[in-house]
Structure 1
Amino acid sequence: MNRQQILKQFIFAFPAIFLFTGFYLTKSSPKILVGITISFILFSIFTLNIKEIITQIKERKFVWLLWIASLFALISKEIHGYGNGEIRVLVCLAVYTSCIPNNTISLLKKNLNLLIISSCVISFIYSFYFTYLLDIRRELWPINPNPYSTFSASVTVISLYYLIKCNDIKYRIMNLIAFSIGFSSIIISQTRGSLLSLFISLIFLFILTSMKKKTLIISLVLSAIFSIGILNAEKFESRFEQTKNEIISIKSGNLNTSMGHRLQIWQAGYELAKSPTLIGLGETYIKANENLFAEGKITKEAVYWDHYHNQYINTFIKHGFIGIIILILFIAAPIWHYKKIKGVNLSLLGVLISIIYIVSSLTEIPFNQAISLGFYLIFSFIITSKDEHI
């Protein structure tokens, strides 16, 4: 490849590279992504063939889903509201994945391990910087720690996959470091849901891995947990004690805790779910909550939250039957791809990421947060695209 071809490939790959790296450094990332996508479109006008783009769209079923989700989001925005960050991510990814050439996707697959290592490094730097250098509590981080740690859990389990998969000692060392610091970033963020999702995905990785690799996985995971646990003992112990005290408070009838608030919010969601709609309530859900409170069906504390702290409830209430179907299709796409090609190479990663998001969605809304949504969409697109590279 000459310099001109290298530059051309880099420009085509840059939006994806940004979604693995720079996207997780600032709260304004979705707006930056819009600028990058517009630049990509302008470049594509002079370099891509319209017929080839149309052919690519026909072949890429994940792109169909992105366009359907984008259209639904835009229509919902006009009717009763939809998150701006989500819309930016959906539309930008729909445009980008429609136009990116097949050879660029292959290039991204070949270098996926390096992108994941970079993601782990950025995840650790971000959490370490705000926690230890600026001494800012997790609740005050510029980016919400819950979707951020979902991203962290995703890249952490992927780095472990590459650690046990590759034979190159240099890459093994790099992935060991990536796995360790990625895991550490989750501990630093003190996000219980993401930690749980990581452990469950690790169990599935263990189950789906060949027998001769199982001992290696157990050794690496236990070593990482032991080492990182010692380094972050204070934070781990603090979060453990907080969780234990919250459970005791709930058992005694006190719901004025983080977990107690979630229980009250879920109750509100359950009551609203009894009267489902096609496109949901959008931002008018607050009025519906107020009506439930007036009827004495929910507590006052459950009325004015931004969301229902559960992706499935939140999507069903705010986006209705159509929204929940789109959500299920997004979750199922990587798993379906894995089953379709019978677990060839990278397709296993799609299953692991789906598990991360399925579990995280029980207590958070990763598909409604631009940061976690952006990673899931670009990664799932790459994994479910044609041809496989280790």
Structure 2
Amino acid sequence: MPNTNPTAINRIILLILFLYPVLLLSVQGGANVLFVVLLVISLVIWVKLNLWRKFLKERSAIFFSVAMTSILAATLLSQTYHDTFNSIHGDSPARFFVAIFIFYALRSLDLNIIPALKYGLPLGAITALFVALFIQYDGSSEFGLRASNSYLNPIHFGNLSLLLGMLSACFVTDIKRTGFSANRLQIAGLIAGLSASALSGTRSGWVAIPVVLAFLLFSSDRPDKLKRLVGAVAVMTITAVICFLSVNVVQQRVYETAAEISAIMNGDFNSSFGLRIQLWVAGFHMFIDNPIFGVGPSEFFSSMDKLYASGMISSVPSSIYGTEVHSYFVACAAELGGVGLLSAVSIFLVPLAMFVDAAKSRVDTVRIAAMAGICLVVSFFTFCLTAEMFNIKMVASFYALLVAALLAATHVVEKAPVKTSTTGDKSCNTTN
């Protein structure tokens, strides 16, 4: 494609993609500002190049557009059905919708974004560890002494820190060929992300690690993929053991988990995990009673009175978890019905299918972007099983932007292999 965009615009976009993960967990509002700037640039490119005529002819682009629009459409349909309109309920879903424009714009540019993410993601994980160690601890009665920042709870902070670390590992190149020094920042990012997550005391997010590793092993066709998997597991295991032995909050959370499982086995559901189970049961009954459009956005807890009265659940969840259903999928099913549940699943499955397909490419940088995309989507899917990750707009923006950028990279780099090899970052030209 002709280079119709000024070099300055390309540099601004690369700077945004580099700074975005660095500011995500360290500067309140910083990542959102960058998201808005990138969106404005993308809209200008969209209009200038008349992109809708080109990309809406592609089947994959149409599927992506429908998937990323669906959750906003489901929210509007539920509001229309219940005749209760409130623009705030569309804030997070709108982030997925506008990611369509970012995806198309980045695809249209002769631009290699891999180096920006290769260095930005590990620096973001290292910054998260710095925040966890020195800046802010959440000492509220609900969470206790657990690492976080001033604008996220420990669950979201821990999950995002963990993800930044795992994404850093996706950009590790062939150590035997390029040497350890070429990958030390990415390895440091992996360790930092795991450590920051451990300090946050989050537990369920760590379930994503074996799931992500399984998907990456399945999707990769590298002959040394098993060796690389063993290396990643070794680093993660050593980090986890060190955190357990040296960090009190990690030991406490492990012991709490064992105690909660034992209590549930004995029929006592008045624990953190037990209360989540009660919330999920309540959500299931709401979905059964309202299978198409749900009870309405943000109406989950106001719909629990009947369940309290019937004795189906205790009155504890409303007082402790009044703003968190602890499952994005349960929340969508209960509040938006079957339409919402299908939409929630589609924002993960459609990009995942595109990333898995791109992972078969012979272009090394395309595979790197695809593997990072698989890690991103599978991690968020796993997080959303036990947390409402997208009830915070910043988190929705992070997922939407990275999905759009990495999907664009699987197309842009493949179409311009000569130019992407002259970025000066030779380490990106090895398969992941």
Same fold (TM over 0.5): yes
Aligned to 1:97: 103
Deviation at 1:370, TM superposition (A): 2.5
Partner deviation per Cα, 1:218-267 (whole Å, 9 max, x = no partner): 4433333344444x432221111222222333334433221121122112
- Work out the percentage of aligned pairs sharing the same amino acid: 14
Deviation at 1:95, TM superposition (A): 4.1
Residue correspondences, number:
384
Does residue 269 (structure 1) correspond to residue 283 (structure 2)? The answer is yes
Match of 2:325, SS state, is coil
Residue segments in structure 2 that go unaligned for 5+ positions in a row: 362-366, 415-427
| From 134, 152, 171, the counterpart of 2:182 | 171
| Larger displacement relative to structure 2 (127-136 or 235-244) | 127-136
| TM-score normalised according to structure 1 size | 0.83
Aligned to 2:425: none
Deviation at 1:164, TM superposition (A): 5.1
Deviation at 1:138, TM superposition (A): 4.4
| From 180, 197, 200, the counterpart of 2:208 | 197
| From 65, 68, 77, the counterpart of 1:66 | 68
Deviation at 1:312, TM superposition (A): 1.6
* C-alpha separation in 2, matches of 1:336 and 1:125: 35
Instruction: Return closer, same or farther for 1:227/1:116 CA change in 2, 3 Å cut-off.
Output: same
* C-alpha separation in 1, matches of 2:158 and 2:138: 19
Q: Structure 1 or 2: larger helix share?
A: 1
Does residue 49 (structure 1) correspond to residue 52 (structure 2)? The answer is no
Deviation at 1:310, TM superposition (A): 1.4
Does residue 121 (structure 1) correspond to residue 131 (structure 2)? The answer is no
Deviation at 1:139, TM superposition (A): 7.5
| From 297, 302, 308, the counterpart of 1:282 | 297
Partner deviation per Cα, 1:65-110 (whole Å, 9 max, x = no partner): 3344445445656735554651453354344334445326x42134
Deviation at 1:6, TM superposition (A): 3.9
Contact 2:158 2:197 in 1 (8 A): yes
Contact 2:159 2:383 in 1 (8 A): yes
Aligned pairs (5 A) from 1:151-230: 151-163=160-172, 165=174, 167-169=177-179, 170-206=181-217, 208=220, 210-230=225-245
Aligned to 2:25: 24
| Larger displacement relative to structure 2 (322-331 or 179-188) | 322-331
Contact 2:109 2:412 in 1 (8 A): no
Alpha-carbon RMSD: 3.5
Partner deviation per Cα, 1:167-208 (whole Å, 9 max, x = no partner): 433331111111111110110111001122124323444565
- Report the AA paired with residue 95 of structure 2: V
* C-alpha separation in 1, matches of 2:24 and 2:78: 25
Partner deviation per Cα, 1:323-380 (whole Å, 9 max, x = no partner): 2122211111233124434533132332222321222222112243333322222222
* C-alpha separation in 1, matches of 2:315 and 2:17: 43
Does residue 240 (structure 1) correspond to residue 241 (structure 2)? The answer is no
| TM-score normalised according to structure 2 size | 0.76
Residue segments in structure 1 that go unaligned for 5+ positions in a row: none
- Report the AA paired with residue 202 of structure 2: T
Partner deviation per Cα, 1:304-334 (whole Å, 9 max, x = no partner): 6223211221111112222212221111123
Deviation at 1:38, TM superposition (A): 6.9
| Larger displacement relative to structure 2 (193-202 or 26-35) | 26-35
Aligned to 2:392: 369
Deviation at 1:212, TM superposition (A): 4.1
| From 378, 386, 392, the counterpart of 1:355 | 378
